Amino acid sequence: MGPEELTDGQIDELRLRLLALRAELEAQQAQAADSTKVVAPDVAIGRLTRLDAMQQQGMAIEERRRREVRLQQITGALAAVESADYGFCRRCQEPIGYKRLTAKPESPFCMPCTDGLERGLTA
C-alpha cells in the first residue's frame, strides 16, 4: 500500500514551508547574481587565477540553475495547493506521502516515479 493522502493540516503546514523555502531561495538567487557575472579576461582576485575564478563561476552558475528548477517546482506546488491537487504525483496520480513532502515539499512526483524517471534519464 502506498502513502496516505495528506490531511488539511498537513497541506497547510507544507504550504507554509513552501512559502518560506521560496523566500529563502529567492534571497540566495539575488545574492548569487554577482558571482555569476562574466569573468573579465584580465581579472586578478588576490591569488586566484583566472581558471580558478572561471571554475568557481561555473559552480555558481550550476547552483543557480538548480535553485531556479526548485523555484519552478515550488511555484508549481503552490499552484497545486490552490487547485487542491497538491500531494498527488504528477505522473501516476497516487499520493506522494507526507514523509517525502516533509523532506522535499516541492516534489512533483512520488518516490517510485522519481526513481523510474532517474533511471530513464541515465539509461
Among positions 17, 91, 100, 104, the unique one binding Zn ion when judged by CB under 5 A: 91
Q: Which range in 4-12, 17-25, 58-66, 90-98 contacts Zn ion by CB under 5 A?
A: 90-98
User: According to CB under 5 A, which residues from 99 to 118 bind Zn ion?
Assistant: 110, 113
* Cα within 13 Å of Cα(91), Cβ side: 12
- 13: part of which helix (H) or strand (E)? helix 8-32
The position carrying cell 532517474 is 118
Q: Which of 56, 92, 95, 108 binds Zn ion (CB under 5 A)?
A: 92
CB of 115 to Zn ion, least distance (A): 10
Buried b (16+ CB within 10 A) or exposed e, 80-95: bbeeeebbbbeeeebb
Radius of gyration of the chain (CA): 19
Among 6, 18, 80, 89, the residue binding Zn ion under the rule CB under 5 A is 89
Closer CB to Zn ion, 81 or 113, in the complex:
113
- Contact residues toward Zn ion (CB under 5 A) are 89, 91-92, 110, 113
